[in-house]
Amino acid sequence: MKKTVLTAAFATLALGVVFAAPASAAGVSACLITKTDTNPFFVKMKEGATAKAKELGVTLKSYAGKIDGDSESQVAAIETCIADGAKGILLTASDTKGIVPAVQEARKAGLLVIALDTPLDPIDAADATFATDNLLAGELIGKWAAATLGDKAKDAKIALLNLTPAQPSVDVLRNQGFMKGFGIDVGDITRIGDEKDPRIVGNDVTNGNEEGGRTAMENLLQKDPGINVVHTINEPAAAGAYEALKAVGKEKDVLIVSVDGGCPGVKNVKEGIIGATSQQYPLLMASLGIEAIKKFADTGEKPKPTAGKNFFDTGVALVTDKPAKGVPSIDTKEGTAKCWG
């Protein structure tokens, strides 16, 4: 009696294995691994990936770290995807260096790994990178600020509100891009804060949120109340900086520029709180990524980088209602239609 039960159990298990194997081989499955599932940027990314996966008949599984910087959960997610027999992984890495060994394991197991938004270190650790050109995003707002100030750009007083003390690549690229665009000698382009230009009042960190933006702006205003240009890592930091400026009655004298293109941010551009912002397209990154995985599964072909760059550029557009000469831009109406979050 006992024996029959056991045999039956084994038989069922064996049948299950037999049926399960071809089932997973028939459909294409893909993984999306983001830094968090709470940041609107990644929420939008997931939306884009889910919609595209549904359209192409790809099974999508999404994973995320618990907080920004939680690399362990991401490594566990990669291992799960390998075990699950996925065809490809879309990854926004928290730790761009530390995750490389896990990515190598996945590639060895025959998965296509595409880095979204954040390039790995080294960048060719992934099969491809779909991202915003953050240096260009910075350059656009730098150029716009310089052109808008005109002759006054020569004796501008600039505050730079960055992300975190660790200087992650996205932070460095936007900061240095802004300086390049504004016409400041950037020194070492991989480092924030080594510039000697007297127009720079100072750098401070914001953690990319309103609270940090406000405190950082207060600190720099205390250093020099004459600040008239503010570069912010993202729009929440810009909103916080604006509150600090408003508290001292300087909000009308200062030009704030930012990067991201989230819906509240674009609305702030429309109302003149932020002068201009560089908009990035997380939805596009994710949907292109799913298409690439589907193509790889069908034909074995891997995506190629944009000509002249070591990654696939998903585009960036300057959003402003005060276009400056020589700097291509879209207005807030178009920006609102494409905004996220």
Partner 1 sequence: MSEPQAATKPHMEYEKVLSGSSTQVAQFDTNDKTALQKFQHFLHGSPAAVPLIVLLLSLTVFGAILGTKFFSAFSLTLILQQVAITGIIGAAQTLIILTAGIDLSVGAIMVLSSVVMGQLAIHYGIPTPLAIVGGFAVGAICGLINGFLVARIKLPPFIVTLGMWQIVLATNFLYSANETIRSQDLAAQAPLLQFFGENIRIGGAVFTYGVIAMVLLVLVLWYVLNSTAWGRHLYAVGDDPDAAELAGVNVKKMLISVYTISGIICALGGWALIGRIGSVSPTAGQFANIESITAVVIGGLSLFGGRGSILGMLFGALIVGVFSLGLRLIGTDPQWTYLLIGVLIIAAVAIDQWIRKVAG
Rounded to whole angstroms, how far apart are CA atoms 136 and 327? Answer: 12
Residue whose pair of structure tokens reads 């995807």 in the numeric block: 81
Rounded to whole angstroms, how far apart are CA atoms 17 and 247? Answer: 66
Subset of residues 156 to 175 that bind partner 1, contact rule: CB under 8 A:
165
Of the listed pieces 122-130, 143-151, 152-160, 201-209, which binds partner 1 according to CB under 8 A? 201-209
Of the listed pieces 78-86, 144-152, 175-183, 264-272, which binds partner 1 according to CB under 8 A? 264-272
Q: Do 32 and 45 meet the contact criterion of CB atoms below 8 Å apart?
A: yes
Q: Is 116 in the site for partner 1 (CB under 8 A)?
A: no
Q: Which residues contact 54 (CB under 8 A, 6 or more apart)?
A: none
Q: Which of 143, 157, 180, 214 binds partner 1 (CB under 8 A)?
A: 214
106 or 319: whose CB is closer to partner 1? 319
Q: Is 187 in the site for partner 1 (CB under 8 A)?
A: no
Total of chain residues touching partner 1, rule CB under 8 A: 32
Q: Is 210 in the site for partner 1 (CB under 8 A)?
A: yes
Between the CA atoms of 31, 34, 40 and 41, what dihedral angle is there, to the nearest 10 degrees? -90
Minimum CB separation of residue 264 from partner 1 in Å reads: 5
Q: Is 205 in the site for partner 1 (CB under 8 A)?
A: yes
Of the listed pieces 83-91, 239-247, 274-282, 286-294, which binds partner 1 according to CB under 8 A? 239-247
**DSSP E strand boundaries for the chain:** 28-34, 58-64, 88-91, 112-116, 128-131, 158-162, 200-205, 229-232, 255-260, 276-280, 312-313, 316-319
Q: Is 215 in the site for partner 1 (CB under 8 A)?
A: yes
Q: Which residues contact 325 (CB under 8 A, 6 or more apart)?
A: 147
Q: Which of 273, 285, 286, 318 binds partner 1 (CB under 8 A)?
A: 273
7 or 209: whose CB is closer to partner 1? 209
Q: Which of 222, 298, 310, 333 binds partner 1 (CB under 8 A)?
A: 222
DSSP letters for 35-80 = S-SSSHHHHHHHHHHHHHHHHHTEEEEEEE-SSTT-HHHHHHHHHH
Short-list 24, 105, 44, CA closest to 113: 105
DSSP state of 149: H
162 or 280: whose CB is closer to partner 1? 162
Q: Which of 43, 123, 189, 330 binds partner 1 (CB under 8 A)?
A: 43
170, β-bridge pairs: none
Minimum CB separation of residue 63 from partner 1 in Å reads: 16
Q: Provide the phi-psi class of 183: left if phi over 0, else alpha when psi is between -120 and 50, else beta.
A: left
3-state secondary structure of 340: strand
Subset of residues 308 to 327 that bind partner 1, contact rule: CB under 8 A:
none
Minimum CB separation of residue 336 from partner 1 in Å reads: 14
181 or 335: whose CB is closer to partner 1? 335
3-state secondary structure of 8: helix
Residues in the site for partner 1, rule: CB under 8 A? 38-40, 43, 165, 193, 202, 204-205, 207, 209-211, 214-215, 218-219, 222-223, 236, 239-240, 242-243, 246-247, 264, 267-268, 271, 273, 341
